[in-house]
């Protein structure tokens, strides 16, 4: 059985969808949640799903091997970033080469990089009057949103789209594709 660790910072909708998908799956399981915000709602979701969660400070994350040690002790095969906003440090990337994936709410390489997350991405896409947006699932390296692209899915935009309507379209793509792509990589 393959073991997945999920890193998250926020409410955890992608976390929950991934967990529910793999609860029905016999060859992989979500083993642990790593959070960088003590009060992140995703911790409540983990509790409700019976999944262990661990909070780490910025100091632990960037200046120690505590996370690598924990993940290795749990036998983790893949790390999934699901709304996790910190840049993953080199020691974690080295411990899990080509085994860390992220989802980004735009079609990379456009609208990526530091500070480009959530509504910030959607605002930029709408302001640029793009004809389409979408999601990108990619491997994680030492730079924001620049790892090799694994999968992209698109949605069309209209003149009437707002940040909120674009966000809804993106959430539907995430729900449909993210768990399946993780499964295909495993």
Sequence-distant (≥ 6) Cβ neighbours of residue 178 within 8 angstroms = 14, 17, 18, 82, 103, 135, 137
CA 53, 57, 62, 66 torsion: positive or negative? negative
Sequence-distant (≥ 6) Cβ neighbours of residue 120 within 8 angstroms = none
Tokens 């793509």 correspond to 173
Whether 104 is catalytic? yes
Q: Catalytic: which of 104, 120, 138, 177? A: 104
Question: What is the distance, to the nearest Å, from the Cα of residue 112 to the centroid of all Cα atoms in its chain?
Answer: 14
Strand 149-156, strand 132-139: pairing: antiparallel
Give the active site residues. 104
């Amino acid at each position: 059985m393959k073991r997945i660790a999920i890193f998250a910072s926020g409410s955890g909708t992608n976390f929950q969808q991934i967990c529910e998908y793999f609860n029905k799956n016999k060859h992989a399981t979500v083993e642990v949640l790593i959070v960088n915000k003590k009060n992140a709602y995703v911790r409540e979701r983990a509790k409700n799903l019976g999944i262990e969660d661990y909070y780490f400070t910025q100091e632990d994350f960037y200046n120690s091997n505590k996370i690598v040690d924990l993940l290795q002790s749990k036998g983790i095969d893949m790390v999934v970033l699901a709304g996790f906003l910190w840049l993953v440090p080199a020691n974690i990337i080295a411990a899990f080469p080509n085994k860390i994936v992220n989802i980004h709410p735009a079609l990379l390489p456009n609208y990526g990089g530091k500070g480009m997350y959530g509504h910030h991405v959607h605002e930029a896409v709408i302001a640029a009057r793009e004809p389409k947006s979408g999601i990108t699932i990619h491997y994680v390296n030492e730079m924001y949103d620049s790892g090799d692209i694994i999968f992209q899915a698109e949605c069309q935009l209209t003149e009437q789209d707002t940040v909120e309507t674009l966000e809804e379209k993106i959430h539907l793509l995430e729900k449909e594709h993210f768990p399946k792509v993780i499964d295909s990589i495993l």
